[in-house]
Homo-oligomer: A and B are copies of this chain.
Amino acid sequence: MAATSEPITTRRAGRPRDPGADGAILRATLDLVAEVGLSGLTVDAVAARAGVGKATIYRRWPSKEALLFVAVATLSEEPPVPDTGSVRGDLMELFAGMIDRFADERSGRLVVEMAAAAAQDPALLELQREFVDRRRRSGRGILRRAVARGELGPDVDVDLVLDLIVGPAAYRCFLSHQPITPDLLVRALDLVLAGLAGTAPEVDRSPGPG
Instruction: Give the Cβ gap from A54 to chain B, nearest Cβ, in Å.
Output: 11
Q: How many copies of this chain sit in the oligomeric assembly?
A: 4
Q: Which residues of B contact A133 (CB under 8 A)?
A: 176
Flag if A163 contacts B174 (CB, 8 Å). no
Known: A163-B168, A198-B195. A175 touches B209 (CB 8 A): no
Q: Which residues of B contact A176 (CB under 8 A)?
A: 129, 132-133, 136, 163
In chain A, residues 166-210, which have Cβ atoms closer than 8 Å to a Cβ of chain B?
A: 166-172, 174-178, 184, 187-188, 190-199, 201, 203-204, 206-209
Known: A192-B191, A198-B198. A86 touches B164 (CB 8 A): no
Chain B, residue nearest A129 (CB): B177
Flag if A206 contacts B195 (CB, 8 Å). no
Flag if A184 contacts B203 (CB, 8 Å). no
Flag if A168 contacts B160 (CB, 8 Å). yes
What is the bound-complex CA distance between A122 and B120, given in angstroms? 23
Q: Which residues of B contact A82 (CB under 8 A)?
A: none
Instruction: Give the Cβ gap from A123 to chain B, nearest Cβ, in Å.
Output: 13
Flag if A128 contacts B175 (CB, 8 Å). yes
Flag if A191 contacts B199 (CB, 8 Å). yes
Closest 10 CB pairs of A and B: A167-B167, A195-B195, A198-B198, A116-B116, A163-B168, A194-B195, A194-B198, A191-B195, A170-B171, A109-B119
Contact residues of A with B, CB < 8 Å?
37, 39, 86, 88, 108-109, 111-113, 115-117, 119-120, 125, 128-129, 132-133, 136, 157, 159-161, 163-164, 166-172, 174-178, 184, 187-188, 190-199, 201, 203-204, 206-209
